[in-house]
Chains A and B, each alone.
Chain A
Amino acid sequence: MFLTIGELINSTRDEVKQALKEKDEELIRKLARDQAETGADVIDLNAGESMEEEQSDMDWLIDLVEDEVDDVRICIDTPDPEVLEFALEKVENRPVINSISNEEDKSRAREVAADSDAEIIGLAMGEEGMPETVEDRLNETEALLKKCDSLGIEEDRLYIDVIAMTIGSNQEQGRYVIDSVREIKEKFGVKTNIGLSNMSFGLPDRALINRTVFAMLLEAGLDAALIDPTDKPMMDTLKAAEALLGMDKNCLKYLKYKRGN
């Protein structure tokens, strides 16, 4: 089952930043509802933009989103281990943690994640910085799996994020992330994730680039992605790819999707 994580409630986006400032409940409710209705399995919440208010903003977001969408799963998107702990305590359903990595300053976050039963996005990066090649990503994955193992984090809770980089400045990166998904799954048998939209930075018609690489990543075996589920062609691509790749028995999900549209 592919995991669609709705990315829209993120405080770096202007409308969300504004809504947090003005406590605009309606906008947050609408974003939550629209994403759930268009196919998000999990809704990402990021309140990191205002540093001092992050915990109270996160508190407010969780209340609103859980009230608006029945049985919603939350993806807790925070750099602050205290906010993470707070949100883990608060959410109703099993959350996803976004994110841990090999970086030293993530050590507390790794411990907090270990103590929870949440699913976890683990970035394939560490002190060396952003990974460049497939090999870099494999090395970071191996190191992170070791760290997780020693903390008692079960592998099936993990989604390794392959780190999307901009093809506008390095045209190898499309190939690198696709091969990384394939090889990480082959070598380590662990699930994979990506935050897609970075890839198309600085190019026209970003949605086209995003959904095209999305289809390629799905073929390589991608298990989860942070995407905008209200982007209809994007979700069309997901449903068609699932049918094409034998992930949709008798194409029933695809048929249901098309009838619903």
Chain B
Amino acid sequence: MSDLLEELGQAVFDMDEDKTVELTEKAIDEGLEPEKILNEGLVPAMDEVGEEYESGDRYVPEMLLSAEAMKGAMQLLRPLLAESGVEPAGIVVMGTVEGDLHDIGQNLVSMMLEGAGFEVINLGPETPAEEFVEAVKENDANVLGMSALLTTTMTHMPEVIEALEEEGIRDQVKVAIGGAPVSQDFVDEIGADGYAADAAAASRLVKKLTS
């Protein structure tokens, strides 16, 4: 790996958005392929960020800062990636279910997934079932990710799965769920495809579901 990409990854890891953007620009100017900048500079850094978070050495505000840095770099890279016809690792529709306003978790997951090279359509908090279904169809998504932080709102998850079935597209998309009250039991109960306990695990789960 070139020194520049290593430095770029370090900037993401160090939560330095300005430096991340500057180094991304520099890498583009030096003629490095956008795909290489992503896969050899940014992705490994976000993997490390995720590992630190999972092991309890990194906390939410620090996750958010690294993700901001990543986002800054992606704004420069995304049009170039599209131009050069590079396909994303997969397309993921994300959202917190109807009636639930907690979006920190699903934002962290979205950032980790973008950091892993996925295209993420983040529908945000309080997403009704129809909106999930619509977004899956419109974007031809591979994975639907749902989050619920309340026992009162996790009940909307099976409704979304039913809505996918009614539209006849349940087979075309994997359903991953997350949030404090959600468990493997609940995955089995509602017929989802998997659950993850945190953002790093979510990134691994989506990789597994799309491989």
Contacts and interface: CB of A to CB of B under 8 A. Distances in A.
Interface string B122-148: 000110000000000000000000000
Interface string A1-17: 00000000001100001
B141 to A, nearest CB: 25
B151 A202 contact: no
B27 interface: no
Interface stretch (B33-41, B58-66, B76-84, B166-174): B58-66
Interface stretch (A46-54, A58-66, A89-97): A46-54
A109 to B, nearest CB: 11
Contact of A105 (B61, B99, B126, B183): B99
A203 B152 CA distance: 25
Interface string B151-171: 110010000000000000000
Contact of B59 (A12, A51, A202): A202
B15 to A, nearest CB: 14
B151 A11 contact: yes
Contact of A49 (B61, B104, B151): B151
Contacts of B61: 168-169, 202-203
B78 to A, nearest CB: 24
Chain B at the A interface: SS class? loop
A237 to B, nearest CB: 23
Contacts of A48: 151-152
A51 B185 CA distance: 13
A129 B104 contact: no
A168 B126 contact: no
A47 to B, nearest CB: 9
Contacts of B64: 168-169
Interface residues of B, number: 17
A158 B182 CA distance: 31
Contacts of A49: 151, 181
A201 B151 contact: no
Given A48-B151, A79-B151, A168-B61, A202 B181 contact: no
Nearest to B125: A129
Nearest to A14: B183
A122 B183 CA distance: 29
A187 to B, nearest CB: 24
A17 B154 CA distance: 15
Interface string B172-208: 0000000011010000000000000000000000000
A230 interface: no
A49 B153 CA distance: 10
B101 A201 contact: no
A12 B60 contact: no
Interface in B45-94: 59-61, 63-64
Nearest to A54: B151
Contacts of B183: 17
Contact of A168 (B59, B101, B150, B181): B59
A260 interface: no
A202 B104 contact: yes
Contacts of B181: 12, 49
A213 interface: no
Contacts of B155: 51
A204 B59 CA distance: 7
Nearest 5 A/B pairs, CB to CB = A202-B60, A79-B152, A48-B151, A168-B60, A130-B101
Given A49-B151, A201-B60, 20 more contacts: A12-B151, A12-B181, A17-B183, A48-B152, A51-B155, A79-B150, A79-B151, A129-B126, A166-B60, A166-B104, A168-B59, A168-B104, A169-B61, A169-B64, A169-B104, A202-B60, A202-B63, A202-B104, A203-B59, A203-B60
5 contacts: A48-B152, A168-B61, A168-B64, A201-B104, A202-B63
Interface of B: 59-61, 63-64, 99, 101, 104, 125-126, 150-152, 155, 180-181, 183
